[in-house]
Amino acid sequence: MAFMEYEAGDATWLAGLVAARDVTPDELLDAALERVAAVNPDLNAVVLVREDVARRAIRDGLPEGPFRGVPFLIKDLGAEAVDFPSHCGSRLFMNTRYPVDSAIFARIKATGVVTFGRTTSPEGGIGPATEAAVYGGPTRNPWDLDRVPGGSSGGAGAAVAAGIVPMAHGSDGGGSVRIPASNCGLFGFKATRARFPDGPLAGEGWAGMAIDGFVTRSVRDAAAMMDACAGPDPGAPYWAPPLREGYLASLERPPGRLRIGLCDTDFLGHPIHPACAEAALDAGRLLESLGHEVFTYCPQADHLGMIRAWVEIVACGAALSVRTAVKTRERPLKEGEIEAVARGAIAFADLISGAGYLAAVGKIHAYGREMAKVFDDCDILLSPVMAEPPARIGRFAHVTEDYLGYRLGPEGVFRYSPYCTAFNASGQPAASIPTFWHEGLPVGVQLAAAFGDDERLIALCGEIEAARPWFNRRPPHRLEALVKAGWAGQNDRG
């Protein structure tokens, strides 16, 4: 297979070529690994490449799933897998090995993908950038190497945008799938809480706010992968409303005329970067042209109380994770084993009592009920994904111990990303759609729906994709790197 043909279609298309015997899984893996060699030195997105594991899986016979033979990457945080040790974005957890495959990874494997490595994540998953010290440098955005690809699934976003794989695993506890999708010009979908399994090595992430997900180049790839992974594992503490038909089947029919509330400020009514506001307004005009009712709307709920509670829960999670690791290995924490933000999170968590933690969880639950009422007024809530275009490298590096300032300060994460966390707290589904670019950078818009209404949401995403396709919008760094690596002269789709 010619090098450029690998990127000519999405994962569904590649799986079709494998099924028709027009290409072999080994040839697709060759193409993916060639791309790692060409673009990853500049991006620093792919780690722990296990070509031997991938070749063995092909030799042993791949499952007859919807993505049989398609190269795939999992995030270096979560998705526990026997054959893929993880750093979890931290020097403290370097080369962590797992006794069993997680339920989510088992379901991913059953689709027939050829997993060959992991993608970078910030330490503990607590950041909108991916610059963990354990990887020796920041992960960069293929659209502009001076910008962040997002976090915490930043390596996944960069790898898919650069064409290494057509889709990749991620996870989302505060926007960690949607932020990279927005920053990298991709599709990202955060499903309803508990749509996918967390076990058996974890009961829940961040009081149920974290969930696995995927960054993709097409809506149908996300739909098919989510169908394959949906459903609780035995003993799951939460249960999502069952899907009626499934994500993929929902793409086969239009969503109907919807009431769409458009918010072009942050949820507190504050102005945001003009490009992000215009992205939402532009999407609103597109949706009106498709026959939907679009009106200005700002969701009323205790957003500040929610984010403070979220920050407390995440700090407690970081403290538990680090202290469990230290206790397990029976030796003290060494200097440099965790980064400054993690040290600050632990110090902040020490100020929170058990009762305080439960109060924070209670606030999150109350917020979910407030956000449920929002969808009495509209079917879909439309906003930007971010309040600014992709940040520059270094702005959100984990170099300060002021954890609270890092999250909530005037230049902190919440001002940069004020939208995504709302739907982790509420458990409602939300998607990032790449419909807008500003000065050559992707600026995503977010669509959110009522709890359990994933199918209507993804049907709308599919309608938007058909009306304004984004598949052929590709970052310039990808082509420059390929030319540098010796693949000049081949046809490129732009």
* Integer Cα distance of 176 and 394 in angstroms: 18
Catalytic residue among 121, 176, 218, 426: 176
Q: What is the DSSP letter of 191?
A: P
d(CA 45, CA 121): 9
DSSP state of 482: H
> What number of residues does the chain have?
494
Task: Find the angle CA(219)-CA(221)-CA(223) to the nearest 5 degrees.
Answer: 70
SS3 199: coil
Catalytic residue check, 327: no
Say if residues 115 and 54 touch (Cβ distance below 8 Å). yes
Query: How many C-beta neighbours within 10 Å does residue 97 have?
Result: 11
Residue in 75, 109, 190, 363 annotated catalytic: 75
Cross-strand partners of 74: 118
Give the CB-side neighbour count of residue 339, counting CA atoms within 13 A.
Answer: 25
Residue 69 near residue 62, CB atoms below 8 Å: yes
Phi and psi angles of residue 74, each rounded to the nearest 5 degrees, phi first: -110, 155
Q: In 224-287, where do the E strands start and end?
A: 259-262
> Do 148 and 393 touch, CB atoms closer than 8 A?
yes
State the Cα–Cα distance between residues 1 and 4, nearest whole angstrom. 8
How far from each other are the two terminal CA atoms of the chain, in whole angstroms? 19
Kindly state the tokens that stand for 296.
Answer: 């200005």
176 is catalytic: yes
Strand-pairing partners, residue 438, are 441
Q: Which residues pair with 56 in a beta bridge?
A: none
Taking the CB of residue 22, how many other CB atoms lie within 10 A of it? Answer: 12
The C-alpha angle with vertex 217 and arms to 229 and 284, in degrees rounded to 5, equals 100
Please confirm, yes or no, whether 190 is among the known catalytic residues.
no
Tell me how crowded residue 260 is: count the other CB atoms within 10 A of its CB. Answer: 22
Q: Which of 121, 152, 153, 218 is catalytic?
A: 152
Numbers of helices and strands, H then E, in the chain? 17, 13
Alpha-carbon distance of 205 to 73, in angstroms, equals 21
Phi, psi of 324 (to 5 degrees): -65, -40
User: Under 8 Å CB-to-CB from 118, ≥6 apart: which residues?
Assistant: 46, 47, 48, 73, 74, 75, 76, 84, 86, 155
Catalytic residues: 75, 152, 176
